[in-house]
Amino acid sequence: MRFLHPEFGWWIVAALMVLGVLRWRAKRRFVASTTVSMLAAARYRASALRRLPLAVLAAALVLLGGALMEPVLPYSQTEITSRGLDIVIALDLSSSMLEEMGRIRPPRTLQNLTFSTRDSAAPMAAVKTRLTATKDAIRSFVRSRRDDRVALVVFSDNAYVISPLTFDHDYVVRYVDMIDDQLLRGEGMTAIGDGLALSNYLLSKQGGGDRRNQVVILFTDGENNKGRDPLEVLRESNAANIRVHMVGVDLEEEVRNKPQVQRLFQSIARFGGRYFNASTSRDLELASRTLDQIEKGVLVSRPFVRDAPVYQWFALPALLCLAVAITLRAVPFFIDYT
């Protein structure tokens, strides 16, 4: 506890001393007599309890002075604010995204081509397509980004904005649900560069002055075969402080080993992003959780000290003591005639 105006305490002490001096000067002087020594005996003195109203009144004045000095209790608080990210999800809608996820491609040998009645009777297990599995991973990722603005871009021959940056994640998830193979009917190529360029443009136009970290997450199952060069667009992303991650959706080994694709992986890593090879639905979910962990918003902590006034701790007892003193003064026993 501390007092905001401790100087008032000296004024209160001075006032009490003045009142004490005035009371001492106002005492009556009696004429001396030969019986004074007898009256000075202890059995003739007034009881000390008769001074109780004065003592209670003094206590009330002291407590009232404490209240006037404005007592406070300092306590520390920390204000924590969260600043999220601006995330654009770029989804490949090329025709190859309709293939089955994790489809095994066995070598063409005579044994593999042998057909039996047992094989024909075997039940066909339901397998998700690459697009369906990717949509599931995107839903999971979007729902986990509480403080982030999320946008959705799709691309095939060209790139299109499905949802601008928004905090309404349910809105984004509904648009993810609406994506199907009929959305870009008549297109089927893979314009990765155009998809990244539109994502950069969206972030530059909607980024504003919030200084939020900006991220693009690219989901694709193939190599760039139309539109702008992705390497050139990646350099533009790096210049704009936009980090790009790529998730290869069941990307075939033959495609991964191409020099053009390898250069794309290397550029993403050089500019601070990561590449995830997702051959199964489980790999996609794992990539989604990993991205959720590595791309975190910024927590800003600002400690400050605040004073809580506690003058009532003094004022209420002072009023109580004052009431007690007035009540005692009404009792004949406590009336001081000396």
Alpha-carbon gap, residue 188 to 209, rounded angstroms:
37
| Residue 80: pLDDT band with limits 50, 70, 90 | low
Residue 10 in this model has a pLDDT that exceeds 80 = no
pLDDT tens digits for range 24-36? 766 555 455 555 5
Residue 152 in this model has a pLDDT that exceeds 90 = yes
Return the pLDDT at 173: 92
Of these ranges, 42-46, 167-171, 204-208, 294-298, the one predicted with the greatest mean pLDDT is 167-171
| Residue 3: pLDDT band with limits 50, 70, 90 | confident
pLDDT tens digits for range 228-255? 899 999 999 999 988 999 998 888 888 8
Return the pLDDT at 107: 47
Return the pLDDT at 112: 44
Residue 104 in this model has a pLDDT that exceeds 70 = no
Instruction: Count Cα atoms within 13 angstroms, Cβ side, for 32.
Output: 1
| Residue 39: pLDDT band with limits 50, 70, 90 | low
Residue 259 backbone phi and psi in degrees, to 5:
-55, -40
Q: How confident is the model over 91-104, as a mean pLDDT?
A: 81
Pseudo-torsion of CA 266, 268, 273, 278, nearest 10°? -80
Q: How confident is the model over 133-144, as a mean pLDDT?
A: 89
Q: How confident is the model over 264-287, as a mean pLDDT?
A: 87
| pTM, two decimal places | 0.60
Residues 6 or more apart from 75 whose CB is under 8 A from it?
305, 306, 308
In this structure, are residues 10 and 65 in contact, taking their beta carbons and an 8 Å threshold? no
Instruction: Give all strands of the β-sheet with 149-155 in edge-to-edge order.
Output: 159-166, 149-155, 85-92, 213-220, 242-249, 275-278
Residue 165 in 3-state DSSP? strand
Distances (CA, A) of 276 to 100, 242, 266, 290: 19, 18, 12, 9
Alpha-carbon gap, residue 249 to 93, rounded angstroms:
12
Return the pLDDT at 161: 92
Residue 121 in this model has a pLDDT that exceeds 60 = no
Residue 216 backbone phi and psi in degrees, to 5:
-120, 130
Long-range contacts of the stretch 9-12 (C-beta < 8 A, 24+): 9/65, 9/66, 9/69, 12/61, 12/62, 12/65, 12/68
Query: Higher-confidence residue: 216 or 17?
Result: 216
